[in-house]
Structure 1
């Protein structure tokens, strides 16, 4: 029994290391395919593929829990708008004009955005350490966006992709706060399946408009299918499964520490595959963001079953 427990714990920690690696890879792939896959197409086909994989598994749960889905579908639709339809689409749009390293660093402020929005929208009290952490992390984000130069911030001469990424983080923050507020009594797999289905439906007209008016035609090919499979399977489905298992096995507070690895992995992958270089402002801003994360997430409240899952990275 002890050997089985040790093996299960080892698998949980392995999954918690792979999860930030997969999420970092999402940013690197998005940046790497900007010339071959339009960002809206990348988001749309990611979720189509993920839905095709999940639906056969989750269909029985959808049928069984259909009365709950029917009663709560407006709430699920709103959640799908800010998560499936918006978050990754904005992330992929950001990748067209900013680096994978910037994406990962700004993306790592999600817990801080959630704490800030929970205070603003739900009136949740923040501890003094949280307030300091939010301010420190914000300074780090401004350091990265301004590339360490105050003049760039004052003159607004920074990359538009950085601002789009901030909007993506805000979108995920709104989703997280609403998820806590709009409690929906569905099993994790059923919730994920119906959320992706509704989010893909919301993305479909945006995808068609993008093809007709902005990006032009896009066709699946031998060169575009592999990155689409990666973003659908690894940062989506597998990371979701690994994250949930890790939270259950080691607890949410300990699991959250592994999210600090996302910008680390992204920096290495971006250097290896995209020839992106770390600037001093990345290191300084990243250190401030990590310090802010530590202060903001120290002794966090235990999340609900629904909020433990983060499949949208």
Structure 2
């Protein structure tokens, strides 16, 4: 039961990531991603610094899996999201992020040789349909009317990045101390982004950060999606597997829509409620049945 609760909280924190990321789009995307990692590192360092230092030989010996986890899950996934939000809406981001479970299932079957029952595929399809129903307010034909743009193309990078991260968690995360590895990944992620941020500032100019407008949002991004949600997601994937845990991301459009209703005054319609119920049913269906085979 605990892993499922963790995944629900992950969805809540990631919905906030999208909504707040959109509200901060006056800042360039690499700057947002870099600042959140610095904040996350500063929060984690007093708690996990000594343990990470004691495990330094493990991190050095397993540097390739560590780098894969860092690049896919920490450095570039959210950079892609913030880049996409510069050009497209949180609605489109939510729609596209709903494709992550399907891609994760396909990659699990292809790369990790997970044998999945057909009912799990039906669960993913049902939850994806419910997510699309929420986004289009019950008019699926409106998908063709959404103004897809370069931001939606950038989101493809986020989808691929997180799907690969989910598989890497399943395969490699057990090699590292659970808490310390998040500290090390955030630190490495910040180092990876440092030269890219420098280029961004040279091209666009150094952004002016204001206390009232930017800092609260950046602190939220640095604490909840970057630290708490990542710890919860890693633990849930280890318990449930990448395919089953990622299905919960189909809740994301529903929670994002709820956040828009509560904080942005968006309208809540019957179609959105129906779609939310369909998403929940699909997630329950996809996660009810375990894997029929083990990874080899």
Please give the TM-score of this superposition, normalised by the length of structure 2: 0.78
In the other structure, the counterpart of 1:32 is 23
The structure 1 residue matched to 2:167, chosen from 172, 177, 182, is 177
Distance in 2, matches of 1:246 and 1:136, equals: 22
Match of 2:43 in 1: 53
- Alignment match of 1:121 (pick from 111, 118, 127): 111
| Partner residue in 2 for 1:299 | 289
> Do residues 194 (structure 1) and 161 (structure 2) align?
no
Q: For residues 39 and 260 of structure 1, do their structure 2 counterparts lie closer, same or farther at Cα, with a shift above 3 Å needed?
A: same
Shift of 1:225: 1.3
Confirm or deny that 1:64 pairs with 2:64: no
Residue segments in structure 1 that go unaligned for 5+ positions in a row: 1-8, 302-313
Question: Which residue among 235, 255, 269 is the counterpart of 2:225?
Answer: 235
What corresponds to 1:209 in structure 2? 199
What is the match of residue 104 of structure 1? 94
Instruction: State the secondary structure of the residue aligned to 1:75.
Output: helix
Which of 221, 233, 240 is the matching residue for 2:210?
A: 221
SS at match of 2:141: coil
Looking at structure 1, the residues matched to 271 and 106 of structure 2 have their Cα atoms a distance apart, in angstroms, of: 24
Is 1:22 the counterpart of 2:13? The answer is: yes
Give the drift of 1:105.
4.4
CA RMSD of aligned residues (A): 3.9
Between the aligned partners of 1:137 and 1:230, the Cα distance in structure 2 is 28
Deviates further, 58-67 or 159-168: 159-168
CA contact (8 A) 2:48 2:180 kept: yes
Alpha-carbon distance between aligned partners in 1 of 2:168 and 2:260, rounded to the nearest angstrom: 33
- Cα distance in 1 for residues equivalent to 2:93 and 2:143: 20
TM normalised by structure 1 equals: 0.74
Distance 1:114 1:233 in 2: 26
Query: Is structure 2 residue 85 aligned with structure 1 residue 85?
Result: no
Q: Which runs of 5+ in 2 are unaligned?
A: 292-296
In structure 2, C-alpha distance between the alignment counterparts of 1:207 and 1:196, rounded to whole Å: 15
Q: Structure 1 pair 75/96, CA: closer, same or farther in 2 (3 Å)? A: same
What is the SS of the residue equivalent to 2:62?
Answer: helix
CA-CA distance at 1:173 after TM superposition: 0.6
Query: Which whole-Å deviations, capped at 9, do the CAs of 1:263-302 have from their partners, x for residues lacking one?
Result: 333212223444555789877876665555444333245x
Moved more, 217-226 or 80-89: 217-226
Aligned length: 286
Relative to structure 1, the CA distance from residue 120 to residue 106 in structure 2 (aligned partners, 3 Å threshold; closer, same or farther) is same
2:294 aligned partner: none
114-123 or 253-262: bigger deviation? 253-262
